[in-house]
């Protein structure tokens, strides 16, 4: 019983986290990419300050991975983002019923738990411009966020998010 209780607690904690999906061109030689930069005309969907925060987090992560930002890069990065309002469909049902000589009857009521949840979807594309803007790696993340969080919390949130996103780069074939 104790193990079952811990399992449900773990399930609850992990279900509220960030979800990241990856896709990549399987014929790509990822070892040839050493330098990167961002597209000049990115429409990230983020505020200027959040845009700077996410790019700083990406720069730090890629630098730690041995990649360098350059004016003449091997690939370009495109960032897109959108806010998504997820409706919470969780509810608790309360029912009453009865039966007697004449028949059966019942009443049921659904009580919603929590409210709507704001999530942000961020898409990061790696594009090889020398190969006719060929997309070779993509990460799509969806995570909860607080639009009124402090600048320090936003910075920490982006740093954690980028760590999770780049756990899948380069892909393990």
Full pLDDT tens readout for the chain, 173 residues: 555 444 443 434 444 578 999 999 999 999 999 999 999 999 999 999 999 999 999 999 999 999 999 999 999 999 999 988 665 555 555 565 665 666 565 666 666 555 566 789 999 999 998 888 999 999 999 988 787 899 999 999 999 999 999 999 999 86
Please tell me the distance from the alpha carbon of residue 111 to that of residue 93, in angstroms, as a whole number.
Answer: 6
158: which residues sit within 8 A by CB, 6+ positions away? 50, 53, 54, 56, 57
Q: Which structural domain, as residue segments, surrounds residue 135?
A: 27-83+116-168
Residue 49 lies inside a defined structural domain of this protein: yes
Task: Read off the pTM.
Answer: 0.74
**pLDDT value at residue 18:** 85
Residue 128 lies inside a defined structural domain of this protein: yes
Residue 100 lies inside a defined structural domain of this protein: no
**pLDDT value at residue 112:** 58
Residue 155 lies inside a defined structural domain of this protein: yes
Kindly report the CATH number assigned to the domain that includes residue 73. 3.30.160.670
**pLDDT value at residue 147:** 77
**pLDDT value at residue 11:** 39
Number of CB atoms found within 10 A of residue 74's CB: 17
Helix or strand (DSSP H, E) at 121: strand 117-128
**pLDDT value at residue 103:** 58
136: which residues sit within 8 A by CB, 6+ positions away? 24, 25, 28, 75, 126, 127, 128
**pLDDT value at residue 7:** 41
Residue 20 lies inside a defined structural domain of this protein: no
Number of folded domains that form the chain? 1
């Amino acid at each position: 019983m104790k193990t079952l209780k811990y399992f449900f607690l773990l399930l609850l904690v992990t279900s509220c986290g960030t979800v990241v999906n990856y896709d990549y061109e399987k014929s790509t030689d990822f070892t040839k990419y050493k330098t990167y930069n961002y597209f000049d005309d990115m429409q990230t969907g983020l505020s200027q300050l959040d845009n700077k925060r996410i790019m700083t987090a990406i720069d730090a992560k890629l630098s730690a991975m041995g990649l360098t930002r350059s004016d003449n890069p091997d690939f370009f990065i495109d960032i897109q983002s959108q806010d998504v309002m997820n409706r919470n469909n969780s509810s608790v049902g309360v029912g009453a019923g009865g039966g007697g000589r004449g028949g059966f009857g019942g009443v049921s009521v659904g009580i919603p738990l929590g409210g709507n949840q704001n999530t942000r979807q961020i898409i990061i594309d790696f594009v090889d411009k020398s190969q006719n803007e060929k997309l070779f790696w993509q990460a799509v993340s969806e995570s909860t966020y607080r639009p009124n969080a402090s600048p320090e919390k936003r910075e920490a949130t982006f740093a954690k998010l980028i760590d999770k996103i780049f756990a899948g780069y380069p892909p393990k074939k």
